[in-house]
């Protein structure tokens, strides 16, 4: 069974659990018991919806390339917060693009709202891989906060910037 099929199966089980909790709530007499059943149903429904959401999102992301060609360089557009929580996902995206050995890797930070010190690990890993294979990395559209974090950690020495905002 594929990962998407497993995710949908898990979501179905959580939907059944939500239905069971709602059904049990109809038969529980004390009002606090009904409240507990409603909380359990809401939690199960939330887990099911998040599972479906992540499954659909990963299917959508797998359907499109991780990079966009502009000429010959690969462009990766990052967004949101790059923290210790998101560093693995971001690292996988950058590694996949670097594995294709583009002549230049452009990392667009226009939509990055926060870059923490923990999140910069992904840039250190990308720079290490790119340096070993001779691929230059260009950071584009860096907002002041992410750029300041990169500068503070000394990545300015190995990264190039373009399209500064």
Place of tokens 């260009």: 138
Split at pLDDT 50, 70, 90, the class of 6 is confident
> Looking at the chain, how many residues does it have?
165
Segment among 45-59, 73-87, 108-122 with least mean pLDDT: 45-59
pTM of the full structure: 0.56
pLDDT at 78: 92
CA 150 to chain centre: 20
Burial class (CB in 10 A: 0-12, 13-18, 19+), 105: buried
């Amino acid at each position: 069974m594929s990962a998407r099929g497993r995710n949908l199966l898990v979501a179905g089980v959580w939907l059944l659990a939500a239905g069971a909790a709602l059904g049990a709530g109809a038969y529980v007499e004390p009002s606090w018991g009904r409240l507990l059943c409603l909380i359990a149903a809401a939690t199960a429904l939330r887990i099911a919806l998040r599972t479906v959401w992540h499954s659909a999102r990963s299917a959508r992301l797998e359907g499109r390339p991780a990079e966009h060609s502009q000429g010959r360089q690969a462009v990766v557009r990052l967004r949101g917060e790059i923290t210790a929580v998101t560093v693995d996902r971001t690292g996988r995206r950058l590694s996949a693009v670097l594995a294709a050995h583009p002549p230049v890797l452009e990392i667009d930070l226009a939509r990055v709202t926060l870059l923490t010190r923990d999140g910069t690990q992904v840039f250190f890993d990308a720079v290490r891989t790119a340096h070993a294979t001779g691929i230059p990395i260009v950071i584009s559209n860096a907002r002041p906060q992410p750029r300041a974090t990169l500068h503070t950690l000394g990545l300015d020495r190995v990264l190039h910037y373009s399209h500064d905002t």
